[in-house]
Chains A and B, each alone.
Chain A
Amino acid sequence: MSTYTALAKANYKAYTRDVTTMFFTFAFPLIFLVVFGLIFSGQRVTKGGLPYINYTAPGVLSWGVGNAALFGVAFTMMHWRRDDILRLIWRTPTPLSSVLVSRYAIALGVGLVQAVLFTAVALLPSFGLHLSGGWPTGLPVLLLGVTAFMAVGLVVGSLADTPEAVAAIANCVMIPMAFLSGAFYPITLMPHWLQDVSHVLPLRYFNDGLLNAFSGQGGWGDFGINCGGLVVFTVIFGAIATKTFRWSNGR
């Protein structure tokens, strides 16, 4: 337990002292919110009659949170391995679970702050987000979304040995997914076969879960499917991550 708090503190200090990264982690989704706000201002999606922001906000938020979890964890893993910090930890009686759980705590905290900040801005009259009473169902979705994307980040962080490789792999994963899973473009407006394809992407479930929470759509069945989808991705990528994890570079 104390190895966990030690690493969580070290992680937290390293994170908050990197002001540039921190700033962009929180500003990035807001920038997209503004851009989409300008593009779609005043328009309504035909079905349901909700303002566009109710579709773009959960999309941008799920993508921004997933992106930060994936990148953040992948960078930490690559960096800690490259700079022999993992070796240093390996030499102490610290279990691997402490390394992962402490980083998980940071990822969850970041995701939560992102969500609160983003929702607060989206609720401003100029953006006009309409938040339904069912919004608390978004919290478990947020937690499971961060978990799933952290699992993907662990795999990316084990595959990549340089910051450039982390960025290249993570962008290849995150940017197409932004469009294919309905985060940046309403899923209902896409061709049917693409709608089917989107079910193999974790962002589809994350986005749907937040969309339903914000707008009070979908029932417990949909909630279960979205949470279950994220759990499945966590299990798959978690299993791959345990196979690919390395304490040090080199054979």
Chain B
Amino acid sequence: MLIEDVHKAYGQVRAVDGVSLRVEQGEFFGILGPNGAGKTTLIEMVEGLREPDRGTIAVLGTTPWPRDVALLRRIGVQTQASAFFTRLTAVEHLRTVAELYGLGPDAADRSLAQAGLTEKAGTRVDKLSGGQRQRLAIATALIHRPELIFLDEPTAALDPEVRRTLWDMLRALRGEGRTIIHTTHHLDEAEALCDRVAIMAGGRIVALDSPGNLIRALDAPTRLSVPAGRLSVHKAEAVDGVARAYEEAGEVVMETREPGRALVAVGELTGLDQVRTRTATLEDAYLRLTGSEHTA
């Protein structure tokens, strides 16, 4: 998938403002960004639902706009608002979609099982829980075994346990060699799943790299913390290798660029059993890059 200098405006709002990126076959690619960053608009242009104002898009070697039926057979899209046929059960909905792709009912049953919804086959779509609806939406997107899969915030509003089940499902898909483009709010998710991530803000890509490189590029200090009673801030500042120390939420926090040395020194003073370490996460990189730098 190749995107070159794509623009899209809704009236005065520049939803996507000059985005270029290239996603390779078999890649698990994340698009991160706050609400209104333009993620959904970008995906809608790539699937061919909207026409870009400017720029070019090539998906699996063809232009998605206007509607290209041959291309649509090769891509699967899960949208944020899950759409199901009115008043049908989960399995009836999937069988209808299967028929629209010219597939038999076995494709629907397989997709239902893959999403772990076999037990809910006979439940009306309007009676499913939030998590079940989201899984049914993914099952809908995967029914025709697409090579390229778009998932628009598939885990929004899911509880942590269901989210993890979904992660396993997504990892399995990548294992099969499918290309996945995934937008999310959850940074831990991008860190855990994606080969590369693009961070979007205000319709532009502000960073694009592997999660590991984005974190390293931050060059953020490692933080060690111990319960406040164990060590005073004053003593903490004097510890070998510690650059800065402060008290926060009942803990003394020490920032260091030499975590090994500092850890040994702290261990000598307080013992290691109560020491916690925290390194920078994708969240830190994200917050800095999207300009909402409350924590760093």
Give the B-binding residues of A (Cβ under 8 A): 2-3, 5-7, 9-10, 13-14, 17-18, 79-80, 83-85, 87-94, 247-248, 250-251
**What CA separation (Å) do A148 and B137 show in the bound complex?**
36
Is there contact, CB below 8 Å, between A251 and B77? no
**Distance between B276 CB and nearest chain A CB, rounded to angstroms:** 45
When distances are taken between beta carbons in the complex, the residues of chain B under 8 Å from A18 are 87
Decide: A91 and B47 in contact? CB cutoff 8 A: yes
Pair A88/B99 contact, Cβ less than 8 Å: no
B 181-208 binary contact with A (CB < 8 Å = 1; else 0)? 0000000000000000000000000000
Q: Cβ of B96: which chain A residues have Cβ within 8 Å of it?
A: 6-7, 9-10
Q: Are A84 and B140 in contact (CB under 8 A)?
A: no
Q: Are A85 and B101 in contact (CB under 8 A)?
A: no
Tell me if A's interface is mostly helix, strand, loop or mixed: helix
Instruction: Tell me the B80-112 residues at the A interface (CB within 8 Å).
Output: 81, 83-88, 92, 95-97, 99-102
The DSSP consensus for interface residues of chain B is: loop
For this complex, 22 residue pairs linking A to B, each with C-beta atoms less than 8 Å apart, are: A2-B99, A3-B102, A6-B95, A7-B100, A10-B88, A13-B87, A14-B85, A14-B86, A14-B88, A17-B87, A79-B86, A84-B81, A85-B83, A85-B85, A88-B83, A88-B84, A88-B97, A92-B72, A93-B100, A247-B49, A248-B49, A250-B10
* From A10, A17, A248, A250, residue with most partner B Cβ within 10 Å: A10
If the complex has contacts A92-B101, A93-B101, are A85 and B86 also in contact, measured as CB distance less than 8 A? yes
- Hey, which chain A residues are within 8 Å of B88, CB to CB? 10, 13-14
B233 → chain A closest CB, angstroms: 54
Checking A14, A91, A248 against B72 with a beta-carbon cut-off of 8 angstroms, the contacting residue is: A91
A18: nearest chain-B partner, CB-CB? B87
B261 within 8 A of A: no
Task: Tell me the complex Cα distance, A97–B115, Å.
Answer: 32
Verify A94–B49 contact, CB threshold 8 A: no
CA distance A250 to B10 in the complex (A): 9
Decide if A88 touches B86 in the complex (CB within 8 Å).
no
Q: Which of B102-136 contact A (CB under 8 A)?
A: 102
Interface pair B100/A251, CB less than 8 Å apart: no
**Cβ-neighbour of B83 out of A3, A6, A84, A93 (below 8 A):** A84
Chain A residues within an 8 Å CB radius of B97: 88, 92
| Inter-subunit contact B79/A84 (CB<8 Å) | yes
Residues of B close to A248: CB separation below 8 A: 49
Q: Which of A7, A83, A92, A248 counts the most chain B CB atoms within 10 A?
A: A92
> Which 4 interchain pairs have the tightest Cβ spacing?
A6-B99, A84-B83, A92-B100, A93-B69
Taking the nearest CB of chain B, how far is it from the CB of A15, in angstroms?
9
B171 interface residue, CB < 8 Å from A? no
Q: Is the CB of B79 within 8 A of A87?
A: yes
Shortest beta-carbon distance, B60 to chain A, in Å?
15
Q: Are A88 and B140 in contact (CB under 8 A)?
A: yes
Does chain A have a CB within 8 A of B73?
yes
Which residues of A are found within 8 Å of B81, using beta-carbon distances? 83-84
13 further A-B contacts with Cβ under 8 Å, apart from A79-B86, A83-B86, A91-B72, are A3-B99, A5-B99, A6-B99, A6-B100, A13-B87, A14-B85, A14-B87, A14-B88, A17-B87, A87-B83, A90-B49, A93-B72, A93-B100
Considering residues B47, B86, B88, B102, which has the most beta carbons from chain A within 10 angstroms of its beta carbon? B86
